[in-house]
Amino acid sequence: MSKANFKAFDPVHVAELAINYLKNMTDDANDYLPYWLVLPHKKPAEAAHCKVDDAELVASWFEGMSCAREIVGTEDGAEQQAGFRRHLMKSWGEHGLRYHEKYPWTHTMHASFHEMGYVLSALNRCLVLDPTDAEAEERAANLVKGMLGVVIQRKTKVFWSGDSEETQKVYEFPNDIYLQDKGFDLQYHTGRGEQPIRNGVILYPLVQRYAITGDENALDLAIGYANFLLGPSRYFSYNMEYYGHVHSALWVASGLVMLGRVTNDKYYVEKGKQIYDYTRSMTSDFGWVPEYAKWHPMNEENCETCCIKDLIECTHELILAGYTEYWKDLNSFVRNQLVENQVISTGYVVTDDTKEDDKAAGLTYKFLNKRMIGGFSGGTLPNSMSLTRFRSIAGCCAGFAPIGLWRAWTVSVEETDTRVTVNIPLNKEVKKAYVRSFYPNEGAIEVTATADTEIGIRLYDWMGEDVKVTLNGEAVEYVVEDGVAVVKAKTDDVVVLEHAIETVTKPEIVRGEEYQIVWRGSDVVDILPHGDHQRLYQRNLDVPFEEPSPEDVVFTGAANYGPTQQKR
């Protein structure tokens, strides 16, 4: 069996780095309010507050921090997580909506229905962490009731040939924002467009809430809005192709699949699957995914980490719906592009640690090269991380990436009363076994039983046909059940699955261009050509890590970071 010296997938280390960013890219003067906007290319580098910090970000960072801390098993970051929660519980108002807080960098005070998706998701996480959390339950229940109270229900179709009753429950929001002092005022809008799908990110958290608490209002709103998206919105084509914001569309896809599962309605599952499959036609096999569909030429697209989290989440929902073939995608995406989109080096960042923060303007400068470590990019190429484009490090991605990592981590090794199943090769300990993965250096997974149990190891096509399983060093027959090799083990038995593994280079069209992808099993260990500035997939430990210097990084983008650049 060939051996090599490549960097292995280590989700615990990824989570530790994420905690570093989520802890330190916060404002102590404002109770750990996150900084969304980070500008590593500026000299000196700076981070700045903007209006989404106190709504979308305190929600996603609370959820992301709790997920990262659960993976690591640490108290580190607990203080900041508590601060995010305090912000989350502020600024609630009419119709149970969560409004922006008043800061110098905020302007028109409103609630965004897109952001309500993040907020409700965070409240769901509060209740998962503590089912007795009365405050989170009250806020979530009132938010759902409030949104249900402001939708329009479409009941009658008025057509040239006559009127007819709407046969389905159809709910639609009149706008994408609700003003704190004016309610629905159609003179105001976010300017993002795509109102149906942007608002539609509430769908998955609504179904989650129903699954967690049995809230019938949440299910009612989810069904009504899903029917609007799949019908009168005309956002999706007959085969569920779409244009625009991939993050929103994929989040909706996850919601549709879960809605179909909890209601036992295959229609919603199939529609969610079609959205995923269409999106998958634009991704790479290792998880690079464009931020937008059909808005720009593909060779102008970049990969937003939020979208990778959505890919992982949707693959798992599809697996739960019975499509076990999606394990291949889930495993590949989490161990490749999700990890590569994380900032692990900042030698190129120029800092001025003597420059005082401008609290009134919401600007910070000190030690940013250290604080940036563990953040995630808002836009990478397949082979490099842009250091100069807007959102090269993105606040939204910093919270969402750990959620995607956690989703994969929780299902990587699953345990029942009778079996431990290894779905994703990594190192992890559970109650009845501990797992060691030797990828990508060796084609081997080792499972040591700490109790009498069945051991299952998921088989993948990249393992080849010559798969060998041993029990305490002796070859043993195994049975295959739904793609899983199963053997019986007793306490202290060691089960090893082995197969040949070689370094294989495969061409792939990504972002409209051909790249040579260097694989070992399901791990990408290199991509050719190599990227400029922050090169990705530097996984060969025998080759020195290449890091750009400040002189290599020349900003050529727009100098203004106003609304025209903030397309989020």
Residues listed for the chain: 568
Pinpoint the alpha helices (H) of 302-419.
Answer: 305-320, 327-333, 339-340, 368-371, 395-412
Query: For residue 435, which of 17, 19, 8 has the smallest C-alpha distance?
Result: 8
pLDDT band at 566 (very low <50, low <70, confident <90, very high): very low
Buried b / exposed e along 115-135 (16+ C-beta atoms within 10 A): bbbbbbbbbbbbbeeeeebee
pLDDT band at 561 (very low <50, low <70, confident <90, very high): very low
Pinpoint the alpha helices (H) of 132-237.
Answer: 134-150, 195-199, 203-213, 216-230
What digits encode the pLDDT tens for the residues 226-279?
999 999 999 999 999 999 999 999 999 999 999 999 999 999 999 999 999 999
What digits encode the pLDDT tens for the residues 148-197?
999 999 999 998 889 999 999 999 999 999 999 999 999 999 988 899 99
How high does pLDDT run on average in the chain?
94
What digits encode the pLDDT tens for the residues 194-216?
999 999 999 999 999 999 999 99
Please check the confidence at residue 458 and state whether its pLDDT lies above 90. yes
Which residue type is seen at 405?
A: L
CA distances from 459 to 155, 216, 462, 487 (A): 50, 40, 9, 13
Q: Are 530 and 385 in contact (CB under 8 A)?
A: no
- What 3-state class would DSSP assign to 397? helix
**Rounded average pLDDT over 340-361:** 92
Q: Are 122 and 142 in contact (CB under 8 A)?
A: no
Record: fold of 414-498? Immunoglobulin-like (2.60.40)
Lookup result for tokens 């393992």? 463
What ranges do the domains of the chain cover? 414-498
Residue 191: left (phi > 0), alpha (psi -120 to 50), or beta? Answer: left
pLDDT band at 333 (very low <50, low <70, confident <90, very high): very high
Which residue type is seen at 411?
A: V
Q: Are 267 and 260 in contact (CB under 8 A)?
A: yes
